[in-house]
Amino acid sequence: MRLEARAPARAYAIRAREEASSPEVITGTFTLFDTDVITLIDPSSTRSYVCMNLVSSKTLPVESTEFVIRVSNPLGQCVLVDKVCKNCPLMFRDICFPTDLMLLPFDEFDIILGMDWLTLHSAIVNCKRKNIDLKIQIEYSDLNGLPVVISSMKTLNYVKKGCEAYLAYVIDTKVTEKN
């Protein structure tokens, strides 16, 4: 096992009960192996982590890392990390966002998602609204050849209720023009 020579990884955790009133914290609930997990979204964290207690209680598959990684928090405290749960199926609304989670001793959250996960899944962090936008690929069947359409009146009602609306111009680049 070698100690990684790069700059130390950064991790940040705050008490879960403080997060609701804290403007700089974004949390959410994901599902990991059929268990709801309280998750801190932390762009200041280099990597993603899982609470050691969760790993023990759920007997998650653990591997050794290639390097020992020194993780520091904003207070300057450091811990050495050498274990990882590879390719964990982190679920949100029945969509899988696989991730590698390094084992870290913390108790306030079940998971901390850092820049590795945010980058991998092209996440857009909105600090003002305290949320993240995730891009997903959706595969669907033909639905009997009929497009799914919402009437303009129904759409207007949704927008008035505060729903976001997007206008998209979509073309199938695989279809050739007929002359």
pLDDT for 32-62, tens place per residue? 988 999 999 998 889 999 999 888 887 788 9
Q: Which residues of 150-163 are buried (b: 16+ CB within 10 A; e: fewer)?
A: eeeeeeeeeeeeee
Q: Residue 71: which residues within 8 A CB-CB, separation 6 or more?
A: 8, 9, 10, 11, 47, 49, 78, 79, 80, 81, 102, 104
What is the pLDDT at residue 14?
44
Question: Which long-range CB contacts under 8 A does 60-68 form with residues at least 24 apart?
Answer: 60/33, 60/85, 60/88, 61/85, 61/86, 62/103, 64/1, 65/1, 65/102, 66/2, 67/1, 67/2, 67/3, 67/4, 68/1, 68/2, 68/3, 68/4
What is the pLDDT at residue 161?
80
What are the residue ranges spanned by the domains of the chain?
Answer: 2-133
Highest mean pLDDT (candidates 13-17, 25-29, 96-100): 96-100
Highest mean pLDDT (candidates 140-144, 149-153, 159-163): 159-163
User: Which of 29, 48, 51, 47 has its CA nearest to residue 38?
Assistant: 29
- pTM passes above 0.85: no
177: pLDDT strictly greater than 50:
yes
Give the confidence band of 17 by pLDDT, cuts at 50, 70, 90: very low
What value does the mean pLDDT of the chain take? 78
% residues pLDDT > 90 (the chain)? 27
Q: What is the mean pLDDT of residues 139-153?
A: 58
Give the confidence band of 108 by pLDDT, cuts at 50, 70, 90: confident
Amino acid at 123: A
Per the structure block, which two tokens stand in for 87? 């390719």
Give the CATH fold of the 2-133 domain.
Answer: Cathepsin D, subunit A; domain 1 (2.40.70)
